[in-house]
């Protein structure tokens, strides 16, 4: 996992490339370099060394024919298998997945994308054709942002680098309005800022002769249609093997690997699958966060799971007193709204891992969307937030002229089944895109790599395509995953309910941090988006007990810190 950047056009010079790279240096603290050709095309790279730690694998990476230049962020987990396919036609000078990716592109062109099992965002410059080709993995685990104004095409792994080369920082009102009105974070091609776009997950782009073309390369809907009529003879065994394969792939690294652990089913299943790996388990560390509030902390469950297992546990505490400074740091780093105090607690894990020399962490992210784990999948509501009974937003605080432009987001519904459409929305438009963005920034802030085996595309496709009773049976959600987990875990762990709340965010914002919250929200009182009296009234209501949800208050804190 690294940082990539590039410029084609008038701004392609050494100073601008250096500025872009400096702004995202935390993503790759091990090595930074760039390539510049005749002041019209330049590519840069910040390296976090994970596979083949030698300098031979540094980037920008050049093909042995001299025609192609690559910058790559992520991991191609099946690089070992692909290398075997390619080694009769290409001479390899490294043991890196970077070189495998470049030679795969040379061999198969754009078709190489469907052969990759991994998380990736990369760009290849073809000198002969004077063309840039870039692509993002199926679910958008790795980011790709770009700017194009007709003169300069600029891309980077984060948003902050764009400000460093003189691009104006202007809020995109429509995205902010939808954020305040329905809790959404923009469409897959949008950001919260004007002129800064995303390449959506599962898409590629070409840039040639000042022409930008974007196309979808991952056709998830077609894959599901093919799989819906396909049933393995022993599905439980087949899925177990997919899970084990996903874990095995994600332990491929030349640096220490650890994992994040909570008290839920996903984490406990992850632990059980790691148990099955042929690795030195005494060298693998577990990490969990706590807030020292027994209503939310899952340490008791975590310790029970690790009992009689060889993994050392690092406990990462977060206190209310840390929130003001940490929240501002995270807001500046994320450059867009993020997920609140749980995200800050999560960041403590990566900070501790890096301090202990653990550069790769595995996590249970992605299970709920494929296996139908959220409560609103059962009641078939249109919610996208778990564990709420009333709206998490407060549209009445918005100024009338701002609010009148809101139109409800209508997400695509490519399937006949209502549950599948909700899952599809969460995978490609709501839950997963925002979680992946939060997690990428949090992990990279501390120069660590996060891997999510439950988002292995083969696993997600097969589970998603299964009938509803495979996922929800007799009122029990994630039914088949629980059945598989029973092979390895105590039954009380397998039956553990999903807990929607992970931290005392409501309590801290309405009590411990009340003075700080008031000061932050005061910054919005004269902003043109808000009605001053309504904003104050809703904040008072929150302090006086209307705090079943604190999402709306966190929205205001996010806005205050990002719009300063």
* Strand-pair partners of 41: 8, 37
User: Could you tell me if 46 and 32 are in contact, meaning their C-beta atoms sit under 8 angstroms apart?
Assistant: yes
Using alpha carbons only, give the angle 194, 195, 197 rounded to the nearest 5 degrees.
Answer: 105
Q: Pick the catalytic residue: 2, 112, 131, 316?
A: 2
Task: Answer yes or no: 112 catalytic.
Answer: no
In eight-state DSSP terms, residue 306 is: H
Cα 458 off chain centre by? 18
User: Could you tell me if 177 and 399 are in contact, meaning their C-beta atoms sit under 8 angstroms apart?
Assistant: no
- DSSP secondary structure letters along 395-439: GGGB-HHHHTT---------SSSHHHHHHHHHHHTSHHHHHHHHH
In eight-state DSSP terms, residue 66 is: S
Residue 373 structure tokens: 């784990």
Which helix (H) or strand (E) is 36 found in, with range?
Answer: strand 31-37
Q: Using the structure block, give the residue that is written with the tokens 């810190």.
A: 561
User: Could you tell me if 235 and 479 are in contact, meaning their C-beta atoms sit under 8 angstroms apart?
Assistant: no
Phi-psi category of 36—alpha, beta or left, where left has phi over 0 and alpha has psi -120 to 50? beta
Of 178, 208, 63, 255, give the one whose Cα is nearest residue 430.
Answer: 178
97 is in an annotated binding site: yes
Of 352, 353, 447, give the one whose Cα is nearest residue 28.
Answer: 447
**What is the distance between the alpha carbons of residues 441 and 428, in angstroms, rounded to a whole number?**
19
**What is the distance between the alpha carbons of residues 485 and 489, in angstroms, rounded to a whole number?**
6
**Residues contributing to the annotated binding site:** 97
Binding residues for L-glutamine: 97
Catalytic residues: 2
């Amino acid at each position: 996992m690294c940082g990539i950047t590039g410029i084609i056009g008038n701004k392609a010079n050494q100073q601008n490339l250096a500025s872009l790279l400096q702004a995202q240096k935390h993503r790759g603290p091990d090595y930074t370099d760039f390539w510049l050709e005749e002041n019209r095309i330049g590519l840069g790279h910040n390296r976090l060394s994970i596979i083949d730690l030698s300098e031979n694998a540094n980037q920008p990476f050049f093909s042995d024919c001299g025609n192609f230049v690559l910058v790559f962020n992520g991991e191609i987990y099946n690089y070992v298998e692909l290398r075997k396919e390619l080694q009769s036609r290409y001479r390899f000078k490294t043991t890196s997945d970077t070189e495998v990716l470049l030679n795969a592109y040379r061999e198969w062109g754009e078709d190489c994308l469907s052969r990759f099992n991994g998380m990736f965002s990369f760009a290849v410059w073809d000198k002969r054709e004077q063309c840039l080709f870039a692509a993002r993995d199926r679910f958008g685990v790795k980011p790709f942002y770009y700017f194009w104004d007709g003169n300069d095409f600029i891309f980077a792994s984060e948003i902050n680098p764009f400000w460093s080369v003189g691009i104006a920082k202007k809020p995109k009102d429509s995205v902010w309005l939808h954020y305040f009105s329905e809790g959404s974070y923009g469409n897959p091609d949008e950001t919260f800022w004007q002129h800064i776009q995303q390449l959506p997950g599962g898409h590629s782009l070409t840039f040639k002769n000042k022409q930008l073309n974007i196309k979808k390369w991952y056709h998830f809907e077609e894959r599901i249609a093919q799989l819906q009529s396909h049933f393995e003879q022993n599905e439980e065994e087949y899925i177990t093997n997919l899970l084990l394969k996903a874990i095995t792939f994600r332990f491929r690294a030349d640096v220490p690997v650890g994992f994040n652990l909570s008290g839920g089913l996903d984490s406990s299943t992850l632990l059980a699958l790691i148990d099955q790996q042929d690795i030195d388990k005494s060298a693998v560390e577990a990490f969990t966060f706590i807030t020292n509030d027994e209503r939310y902390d899952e340490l008791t469950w975590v310790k029970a799971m690790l009992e009689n297992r060889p993994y050392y546990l690092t406990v990462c505490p977060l206190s209310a007193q840390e929130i003001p400074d940490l929240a501002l740091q995270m807001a500046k780093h994320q450059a867009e709204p993020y997920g609140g105090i749980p995200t800050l607690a999560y960041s403590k894990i990566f900070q501790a891992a890096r301090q202990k020399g653990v550069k790769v962490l595995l996590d249970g992210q992605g299970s709920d969307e494929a296996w139908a784990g959220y409560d609103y999948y059962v009641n078939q509501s249109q919610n996208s937030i778990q564990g709420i009974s009333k709206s998490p937003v407060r549209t009445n605080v918005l100024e009338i002229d701002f609010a009148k432009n809101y139109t409800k987001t209508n997400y695509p519904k490519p399937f006949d089944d209502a549950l599948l459409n909700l899952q599809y929305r969460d995978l490609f438009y709501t839950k997963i895109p925002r979680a992946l963005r939060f997690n990428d920034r949090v992990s990279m802030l501390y120069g660590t790599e996060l891997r999510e085996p439950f988002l292995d595309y083969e696993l997600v496709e097969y589970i998603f395509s299964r009938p509803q009773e495979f996922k929800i049976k007799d009122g029990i959600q994630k039914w088949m995953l629980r059945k598989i987990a029973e092979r390895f875990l105590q039954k009380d762990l397998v039956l553990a309910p999903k807990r929607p709340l992970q931290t005392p965010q409501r309590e801290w914002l309405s009590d411990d941090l009340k003075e700080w919250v008031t000061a932050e929200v005061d910054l919005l009182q004269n902003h043109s988006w808000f009605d001053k009296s309504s904003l104050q009234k809703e904040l008072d209501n929150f302090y006086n007990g209307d705090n079943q949800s604190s999402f709306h208050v966190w929205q205001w804190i996010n806005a205050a810190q990002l719009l300063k």
